Structures are given as structure tokens and as C-alpha cells.
Structure 1
Amino acid sequence: MLLEFKRIYIPPGQRVLLRDVTWQELEAILEDLGEHRAARIAYDRGILEIMAPLPEHEFDKEIISDLVKALLEELDIEFRCLGSTTFKNQAMAQGIEPDQCFYIKNESKIRGKKRLDLAVDPPPDLALEIDITSRTHPNIYEALKVPELWRFERGKLQINVLQNGHYVESQQSLNFPLFPIIAAIPQYLEQSTTAGRNATLKAFRLWVPQQ
């Protein structure tokens, strides 16, 4: 009998690892956990990780997400932001819930869809992971063919782009090649801690056309 995972308390910043979890058990656990939860999962060929983020993790995620949205809006690019949607592929026996993700170039291909299936739908164009709790699993994103993965850790942003099936660290974003993203995102995130969110986003929106 499957233990009800919603009864398990995972302290913020901690994780639980389960081995030999079948795909059917994964589906049952996800259903038991429900969609409206703070915990995130990563599944890699039988190993399931369930992690509860720290409050500062959520702060960084929200501000960085807001900056990406503002950039896309200023550039008048249609996008869809899907947050911590569970992306999984049964054939690859892998699944992940990013801290945040965006459909940009492939937005039109999933427009209006309520549920996504990576067996037929494209993966997100950009995934964001906040690494305060050391949770990123690049190999899962590689397997799911996510073209660009941002990892933010200890105040620094690392951009990884998919080349020949593997991530290569890059100084440029695939989605925003004309912008100094690696310097700008941490700078405006830091600014938000003193100036506030709204003032920072206003300043960022003024910065975008100057580039």
C-alpha cells in the first residue's frame, strides 16, 4: 500500500531520496502530493528526489522570473510561463519540476493547451533553477532536450545551452543573445533587496531598450 506522501513533512532546505521507484509509483506519488505544494520532485530512472525549498530560494525565483517576463514583454515576444510544471517522459524514465520555465520560441505550439506531453509536445525553451539547496539535475534537462538552463547559485547566474545533447556553459543566452544576461540578472536581483521589487522592475524596463 502506498504511503500518503502529503502526510510527510520535509523541512525547508531538506530533501528525501527514494530508490527503485517505478513509473507507476511515481504517477501515484505525484497524484498524492497534488499540484498545489511547495515541494519539488526530480525523477531519474528509478530514483525519486522530493525537496522543500528555502524561503530565500522562492524570493530569488520570483524576482528573476519577473525580470525575464519584463524582458519578454519589453521585446514584445509572446511567451508562456509554466512555473513548476511537472515535465516527464516515460520512455526516458525521467521527470523534473523546474523552479520556473518559459515557452518562448515554441509558445505557439503549446498555446491553449491545458496539459503537455513531452512525447509529442516540445520542452520549455528556458528552465530556471535556484541552487541554494543544490537540487539541479542537468542530466534530466538534457534528456528532456530543454535548449537552455539557467542555474542561479550564490549570487551568480550560469547559462547552459544544449549542444549535441549535452549542456555547454555559455556567456550568451539562446533566447536573449543581445543582452548581457549573466551580469544584469544578478545586478537587478541585488537591487531589488534595497530598492524594492516595483522600483527595480521599472529600472530594468528602462534598461532594456538601451541595449
Structure 2
Amino acid sequence: MLLKLQQIIVKPGHQTLLKDITWQQLENILEEMGEKRAARISYSHGWLEIMVPLPEHEKDKEYIGDLVKILLEKLQIDFEALGSTTLKNERMRQAVEPDTCFYIQNQAAVIGKNRLDLNIDPPPDLAIEIDITSRTRFDNYEILGVPELWRYTQKGLEISLLQQGKYIKSESSPNFPDIPIIELVNEYVQQCLTIGRSQAIRNFRTLIANNIMSV
């Protein structure tokens, strides 16, 4: 007896792992789930994880996404923010939905695109994952060739850079050279949680206007 997708219930903060999922089944599942949904997917060589984030997960995603957008705009760097767009490559048998992602160096290649196919499109220059809850560790981003991955955990921000096909930890971001990104993100998120997003954004805009723009 085959299960239907609507029979699978995933509570916020939890994940369900399905095995032996073909690429066509993945495509069918994505179509059935639709674009407007809370769940995120991660797929690798037949294994499919469906995860529903907690509210604090979504808040942190928005906070960090705001920070990146403000920085890019202040530095007058062209970019495209594609949010949780599904990144997939059928040849590599990989698909993943980041919490948010940005095209920076490759922004011109994705202007106007709502769906991506990494068989032909470049991967995002920066992907961001909020790991407040544990997730299955597929190596999707490495295999898909995403050059920079941020993971925000309960310990703060971690930056990983792709070098020779493997991620290595870094204390800095090549997308924001000479800017203390880890320190800024950690402080900014904490401010959002203590004084609220609006005041934290005002503080951050003042900070970068007075300091970062002169770097």
C-alpha cells in the first residue's frame, strides 16, 4: 500500500526521512507540496528529508537575511535574493532548499528566474542554513558546488568555504571582505531577540553607516 503525501505529518521542529525516492517521485512530491509551504526538503541519492522549522528558526532566517541585504545594498553590490528556492541537479541526484540564498557574483544569470535547474544554472554564491534543530547531514551544498555556506546554530554563526570540493571553516566571508561578519551576525541576532527587530535594524544601519562604509 502506497502512502500519500498528505498522510505524512511532520511537526514543527521535526523531520521525516524517506528512502528509495526516485527523482520523478521527488518532482511529484515537490509539485504536490507546492510553493507556499512551511516544510523544507533535502534530497540525496534516493534519501528525502522533509523538515518543518520552528518559529524561532524562521525568525533567525529573517534576521540574518535582512542583515545580508542591508550590507549588500550599502556596499552597492548587485544581488538577487532567492530565499528557499529549490536547488536541484538531476545528474548529481541532489536537491536542497536553503533557508535563504543569495546570488552575488552570478546575480545576472538568475535575474527573472523563479525556478532553478543547477544542471544549467550556477549555484548561489551564498546559502544560509538555520540549524536550531538538528537536520540530516547530507552533503548537498558541497556536491552542488555552493562556494559559501553559513550555518547559524545555538552557538552562533559558522562560515564554511568550498575548497577543492570540501568545506573548510573560515573566520571571514569573501563576499564581505574586511567586515567582521561572524561578530556582526551574532550581535545583531541577539539584539533582535532582546530589543526587537525594528530597533536592531536601526542600530545596524547606524553602525554600518558610521564604520563599515569607511573600511
TM-score bracket relative to the smaller structure: over 0.9
Which residue in the other structure is 1:191 paired with? 191
Which residue in the other structure is 1:50 paired with? 50
TM-score of the aligned structures, taking structure 1 as reference length:
0.95
User: 1:61 and 1:190, CA in 2 relative to 1: closer, same or farther beyond 3 A?
Assistant: same
Which residue in the other structure is 2:41 paired with? 41
User: 1:140 and 1:45, CA in 2 relative to 1: closer, same or farther beyond 3 A?
Assistant: same
Separation in 2, partners of 1:73, 1:43: 33
Structure 2 alignment gaps of length 5 or more: none
For residue 16 of structure 1, what is the amino acid of its counterpart?
Answer: T
RMSD: 1.5
What secondary structure sits across from 1:199 in the alignment?
A: helix
Say if 2:148 and 2:159, in contact at 8 Å, map to a contact too.
yes
Aligned-pair CA distance for 1:115: 2.7
For residue 139 of structure 1, what is the amino acid of its counterpart?
Answer: D
Separation in 2, partners of 1:123, 1:88: 9
Structure 1 alignment gaps of length 5 or more: none
Separation in 2, partners of 1:155, 1:146: 23
Q: Does 1:93 align with 2:93?
A: yes
1:5-16 aligned within 5 A:
5-16=5-16
Say if 2:44 and 2:138, in contact at 8 Å, map to a contact too.
no
Of the structure 1 ranges 10-19 and 190-199, higher mean CA displacement relative to structure 2 is found in: 190-199
What secondary structure sits across from 2:67 in the alignment?
A: helix
Aligned-residue identity in percent: 56
Say if 2:49 and 2:136, in contact at 8 Å, map to a contact too.
no
Which residue in the other structure is 1:109 paired with? 109
Q: Does 1:26 align with 2:26?
A: yes
Aligned-pair CA distance for 1:77: 1.1
TM-score of the aligned structures, taking structure 2 as reference length:
0.93
Aligned-pair CA distance for 1:2: 5.8
Aligned-pair CA distance for 1:136: 6.3
For residue 87 of structure 2, what is the amino acid of its counterpart?
Answer: F
Separation in 2, partners of 1:131, 1:109: 29
Separation in 1, partners of 2:184, 2:36: 32
Of the structure 1 ranges 72-81 and 88-97, higher mean CA displacement relative to structure 2 is found in: 72-81
For residue 112 of structure 1, what is the amino acid of its counterpart?
Answer: G
What secondary structure sits across from 1:25 in the alignment?
A: helix
Separation in 2, partners of 1:79, 1:3: 41
Q: How many residues align?
A: 211
For residue 122 of structure 1, what is the amino acid of its counterpart?
Answer: P
Q: Does 1:125 align with 2:125?
A: yes
User: 1:114 and 1:60, CA in 2 relative to 1: closer, same or farther beyond 3 A?
Assistant: closer
User: 1:114 and 1:56, CA in 2 relative to 1: closer, same or farther beyond 3 A?
Assistant: closer
1:148-187 aligned within 5 A:
148-187=148-187
1:58-77 aligned within 5 A:
58-77=58-77
Separation in 1, partners of 2:95, 2:30: 11
Separation in 2, partners of 1:207, 1:93: 43
